[in-house]
């Protein structure tokens, strides 16, 4: 229900923006897209974060084989079907193709070729060594030029910097949400909304934080019996029923170690870094270089993720006396998370951490089985 | 029973290639323990740097023990004693006694042994937690590293467009003592050549550390020259012989040779000089046979390109097509831009030239998107002047196999040749579909 409200609110927002003459750039990449540059150029960045279903996946099979990640399939499905609540996708002017994974390339290309959406490109290197950083700079400058060509004038550095400041402040606020004592589903709703609307909803987020702080300080703390878990792997996209299944099974997600969640929020600049340069491109490069938890890069993404999870779990245990378990969410056919799932589980289990590898697609038929597996896991921990 | 056994025996160059592929284990053991050389795993045709550093590149399936039959064992002893020329005599001699049995076994060793091993290693990958949703190539390669990775000194990885490939490359680090990376920029933009050159230099530095040898411009150029000659011979087979109306053998054997070249081209059977000699001999042998009209008149038999096969394919395919009256062309490396030569002219910088070669392959062959990739399909089909195209859709491949719908449209528009798609998951699993689809395709030529 909440996602329906959110979608209709978002739809209204985009329509208003279009009336004001703004153009929309959609993208499905989960990382390394300089949304501040898009914002500074006067475009609306629209992240495709919508979960799929059977119908949407089927609609993609004219273009891609069914052995494609079901999120990617659904992205095509949305453009092919344009379901009622997603009519706003008709407002999309550009699709920004990136190579976060190869499905990102294929899907963006298909959307551009078949649904009358112009294409922009931003390829991201796979490592984060010195040459890779220099290469990323070439791509960023190229994107900047492409955007400048569309708007017909330069995007001043100052404007990009302002946008970076704006998003930075916004992410800092979101980081506070991470620490609030609210349910996992509430956090997720906020994160999803934040990813869609961006800093425009900063006030709303601030109020929410304030309100929740008051509630927490007035309430006498009641211990919940829910099983506390970390959620990692593929993000939970908007409209997915997975969060309901976890909470219905007695699980409580205390930390979203996913792109919609900590990966996005944690990409914050310190004031020192912000003030260290006048060139906003340098800041994008800094972010790219220090983004060691992104799932796009090689060769250490898995090691970094495992050591992060381990540290988080240990620290949480010290503070709260409770050992967190891990749900590793794998969207079927996801190149990034599927391949590593057994190693991730094995390595964390060797450290005494319980892990549920939850691999699934978006088909309705999956729901019962998923629910059973989550329930069994919750009973076990 | 095979259709083309009789052709194999007379092709001693093919026997050499096959033998060197299958007998890799013994050869590599010798290199490692006796000669104290370092074994460095490669996959895809990326062995040049390893050779230049004095390492021994190995496509890891070649470290496996293959069931080499008595005939090949005899061949081995004979070659050790007398060299290959006498072996041909030996073959001819043996053939008079028990032709079918021996020759069938040879063929089984070359083709089915390799495929059997592939399937075995695929299963090993699955048993060790690789989801069956991944492509056959990645799964069996993982199996290869699980099985023999510990005997390697290092592994060299190149980043490519396929995210599954890059992640697979990261995942095998737990099976090898050291990983060396060459990060190829996704597009040829700005000073990408320079940046790639930096990455190549860094990889060379690591290779030097592993092998204890110094890589020089000379050692690089020497290897590139060998590679260039191999590529020229490979292209001669693809462009000249495969297009000829008279084949030096029957078309199924011809396809078999192309398949063997495709596999062995990745590491040059761990000895580039020897590989060059073999392929040059193969070209000579083919030419001689054609001149002497030994072989088969293939005029009127449609030439069908089957691609991509490097990530796994049903090896019955070319026999089926042969029975249907068609010829099979396997030309993945040409299509992916890997058969382009590396400039070794005077005053050229070998590292920079290698960088240009890699970027060219990534941009024009593999392609940074489906548009570029499908263009390279169309170009290769045109250049090779094939009559039909079979797209091998590998289950779980999200990078190449999913471009079929775009490719089909392009073929209709630009090539107007018959095309079909066959699905591949694992060797031997889908032979019936392959037969039906290929049957329907060949019907279109009647
Ligand atoms: S879920 Fe995985 S495969 Fe799908 S788009 Fe995201 S990273 Fe790519
Ligand atoms: S391109 Fe396809 S077949 Fe090749 S490694 Fe990637 S997924 Fe496998």
User: pLDDT grade, residue B83 (50/70/90)?
Assistant: low
Residue whose structure tokens are 């005939």: B71
Ligand nearest to the CA of B403: 2
The pLDDT score that the predictor gives to residue B401 is: 85
Does the structure show a pLDDT above 50 at B100?
A: no
CA dihedral (B110, B112, B116, B118) positive or negative: positive
Question: Residue with the nearest Cα to atom 4 of ligand 2?
Answer: B311
The pLDDT score that the predictor gives to residue B79 is: 66
Please report, rounded to a whole number, the percentage of residues in chain B having pLDDT higher than 90: 78
Which atom belonging to ligand 2 lies closest to the Cα atom of B168? 5
Could you name the CATH architecture of A2-155?
3-Layer(aba) Sandwich (3.40)
pLDDT tens for A194-220 read 999 999 999 999 999 998 887 766 665
Q: Residue B36: left if φ>0, alpha if ψ -120 to 50, beta else—which one? A: left
Please report, rounded to a whole number, the percentage of residues in chain A having pLDDT higher than 70: 98
Higher-pLDDT residue of B333 and B78 is B333
The pLDDT score that the predictor gives to residue B118 is: 95
Q: Nearest by CB to B195, from A110, A135, A333: name it.
A: A135
Mean pLDDT of all residues in B241-267: 93
Mean pLDDT of all residues in A47-60: 97
Could you give the CA distance from residue A49 to residue B441 in angstroms, rounded to a whole number?
Answer: 42
Mean pLDDT of all residues in B346-351: 96
User: pLDDT grade, residue B1 (50/70/90)?
Assistant: very low
Mean pLDDT of all residues in B36-60: 97
Does the structure show a pLDDT above 50 at B102?
A: no
Could you give the CA distance from residue A301 to residue A20 in angstroms, rounded to a whole number?
Answer: 42
Residue B61 to chain A, least CA–CA distance (Å): 21
Contact A68 B130 (CB under 8 A): no
Does the structure show a pLDDT above 60 at B281?
A: yes
| Contact yes or no for B411/B419 (Cβ under 8 A) | yes
Structure-block tokens of residue A198: 């961006």
Ligand 1 contacts CB of residue A335 (under 6 A) = yes
Could you give the CA distance from residue A83 to residue A155 in angstroms, rounded to a whole number?
Answer: 35
Between the CA of B123 and the centroid of ligand 2 the distance, in Å, is 18
User: pLDDT grade, residue B116 (50/70/90)?
Assistant: confident
Could you name the CATH architecture of A225-380?
3-Layer(aba) Sandwich (3.40)
Query: Nearest chain B Cα to A347, which residue?
Result: B174
Does the structure show a pLDDT above 90 at B402?
A: no
Query: Nearest chain B Cα to A337, which residue?
Result: B167
Lowest mean pLDDT of B97-106, B226-235, B334-343, name the range. B97-106
Does the structure show a pLDDT above 70 at B90?
A: no
DSSP state of B363: I
Q: Check if A2-155 and A225-380 are the same fold.
A: yes
Q: What is the pTM of this model?
A: 0.95
The pLDDT score that the predictor gives to residue B14 is: 80
The pLDDT score that the predictor gives to residue A220 is: 53
The pLDDT score that the predictor gives to residue B446 is: 87
The pLDDT score that the predictor gives to residue B5 is: 47
Residue B188 to chain A, least CA–CA distance (Å): 10
Does the structure show a pLDDT above 50 at B29?
A: yes
Delimit the domains of chain A by residue range: 2-155, 225-380
The pLDDT score that the predictor gives to residue B95 is: 55
Structure-block tokens of residue A254: 């205390």
Mean pLDDT of all residues in B248-269: 92
Does the structure show a pLDDT above 90 at B174?
A: yes
Contacting residues of B for A138, CB less than 8 Å apart? 189-192
The pLDDT score that the predictor gives to residue B98 is: 47
Between the CA of B233 and the centroid of ligand 2 the distance, in Å, is 27
Local structure of B72: helix, strand or coil: helix
- C-alpha neighbours within 13 Å on the C-beta side of residue B190: 18
Lowest mean pLDDT of A227-241, A262-276, B54-68, B102-116, name the range. B102-116
Q: Residue A319: left if φ>0, alpha if ψ -120 to 50, beta else—which one? A: alpha
pLDDT tens for A302-322 read 999 999 999 999 999 999 999
Contacting residues of B for A109, CB less than 8 Å apart? 369-371
Does the structure show a pLDDT above 50 at B103?
A: no
pLDDT averaged over every residue in chain B: 90
User: pLDDT grade, residue B16 (50/70/90)?
Assistant: confident
pLDDT tens for A120-173 read 999 999 999 999 999 999 999 999 999 999 999 999 999 999 999 999 999 999
Mean pLDDT of all residues in B50-66: 96
User: pLDDT grade, residue B17 (50/70/90)?
Assistant: confident
């Amino acid at each position: 229900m909440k996602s329906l409200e959110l979608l209709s609110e978002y739809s209204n927002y985009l329509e208003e923006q279009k009336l004001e003459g703004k153009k929309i750039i959609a993208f499905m990449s989960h990382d390394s897209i300089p949304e501040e540059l898009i914002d500074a150029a006067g475009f609306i960045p629209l992240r495709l974060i919508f979960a799929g279903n059977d119908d949407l996946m089927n609609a993609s099979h004219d273009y891609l084989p069914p052995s494609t990640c079901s999120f990617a399939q659904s992205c095509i499905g949305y453009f092919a079907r344009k379901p009622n609540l997603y009519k706003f996708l008709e407002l999309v002017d550009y699709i920004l193709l990136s190579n976060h994974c190869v499905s990102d390339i294929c899907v963006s290309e298909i959307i551009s070729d078949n649904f009358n959406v112009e294409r922009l490109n931003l390829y991201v290197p796979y490592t984060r060594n010195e040459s890779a950083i220099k290469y990323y700079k070439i791509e960023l400058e190229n994107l900047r030029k492409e955007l400048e060509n569309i708007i017909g004038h330069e995007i001043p550095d100052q404007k990009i910097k302002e946008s970076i400041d704006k998003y930075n402040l916004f992410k800092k606020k979101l980081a506070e949400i991470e620490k609030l004592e609210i349910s996992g589903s509430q956090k997720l709703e906020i994160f999803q909304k934040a990813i869609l609307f961006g800093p425009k909803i900063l006030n709303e987020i601030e109020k929410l934080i304030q309100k929740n702080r008051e509630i927490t300080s007035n309430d006498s703390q009641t211990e919940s019996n829910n099983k506390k878990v970390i959620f990692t792997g593929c993000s939970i996209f908007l409209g997915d029923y997975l969060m309901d299944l976890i909470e219905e099974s007695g699980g409580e997600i205390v930390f979203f170690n996913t792109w919609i969640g900590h990966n996005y929020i944690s990409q914050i600049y310190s004031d020192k870094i912000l003030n260290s340069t006048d060139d906003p491109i340098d800041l994008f490069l800094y972010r790219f270089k220090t983004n060691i938890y992104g799932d796009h890069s090689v060769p250490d993404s898995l090691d970094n993720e495992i050591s992060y999870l381990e540290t988080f779990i240990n620290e949480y245990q010290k503070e709260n006396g409770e050992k967190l378990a891990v749900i590793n969410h794998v969207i079927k056919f996801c190149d990034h998370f599927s391949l590593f799932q057994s190693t991730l589980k094995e390595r964390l289990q060797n450290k005494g951490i319980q892990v549920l590898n939850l691999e699934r697609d978006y088909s309705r038929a999956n729901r019962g089985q998923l629910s059973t597996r989550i329930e069994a896991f919750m009973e076990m921990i | 029973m095979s259709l083309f056994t009789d052709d194999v025996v007379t092709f001693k160059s093919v026997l050499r290639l096959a033998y060197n592929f299958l007998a890799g284990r013994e050869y590599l053991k010798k290199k490692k323990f006796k000669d104290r050389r370092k074994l460095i795993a490669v996959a895809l045709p990326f062995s040049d740097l390893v050779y230049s550093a004095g390492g021994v590149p190995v496509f890891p399936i070649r470290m496996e023990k293959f069931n080499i039959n008595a005939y090949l064992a005899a061949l081995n002893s004979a070659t050790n004693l007398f060299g290959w020329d006498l072996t041909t005599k030996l073959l001819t001699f043996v053939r008079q006694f028990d032709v079918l049995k021996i020759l069938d076994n040879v063929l089984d060793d070359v083709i089915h042994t390799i495929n059997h091993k592939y399937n075995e290693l695929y299963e090993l990958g699955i048993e060790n937690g690789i989801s069956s949703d991944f492509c056959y190539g990645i799964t069996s390669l993982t199996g290869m590293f699980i099985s023999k990775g510990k005997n390697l000194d290092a592994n060299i990885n190149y980043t490519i467009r396929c995210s599954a490939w890059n992640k697979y490359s990261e995942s095998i680090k737990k099976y090898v003592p050291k990983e060396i990376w060459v990060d190829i920029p996704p597009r040829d933009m700005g000073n990408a050549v320079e940046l790639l050159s930096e990455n190549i230099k860094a990889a060379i530095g690591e290779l030097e550390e592993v092998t204890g040898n110094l890589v020089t411009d000379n050692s690089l150029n020497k290897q590139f020259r060998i590679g260039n000659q191999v590529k020229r011979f490979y292209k001669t087979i693809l462009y000249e012989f495969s297009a000829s109306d008279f084949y030096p053998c029957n078309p199924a054997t011809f396809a078999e040779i192309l398949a063997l070249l495709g596999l062995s081209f990745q590491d040059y059977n761990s000895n580039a000089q020897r590989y060059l000699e073999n392929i040059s001999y193969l070209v000579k042998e083919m030419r001689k046979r054609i001149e002497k009209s030994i072989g088969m008149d293939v005029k009127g038999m449609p030439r069908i390109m089957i691609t991509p096969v490097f990530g796994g394919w049903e090896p019955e395919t070319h026999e089926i097509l042969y029975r249907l009256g068609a010829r099979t062309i396997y030309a993945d490396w040409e299509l992916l831009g890997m058969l382009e030569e590396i400039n070794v002219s005077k005053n050229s910088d070998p590292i920079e030239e290698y960088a240009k070669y890699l970027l060219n392959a990534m941009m024009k062959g593999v392609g940074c998107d489906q548009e570029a990739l499908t263009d390279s399909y169309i170009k290769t089909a045109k250049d090779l002047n094939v009559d039909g195209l079979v797209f091998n859709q590998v289950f779980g491949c999200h990078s190449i196999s999913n471009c079929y719908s775009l490719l089909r449209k392009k073929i209709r528009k630009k090539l107007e040749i018959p095309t079909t798609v066959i699905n591949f998951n694992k060797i031997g699993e889908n032979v019936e579909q392959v037969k039906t689809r290929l049957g329907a395709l060949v019907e279109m030529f009647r």
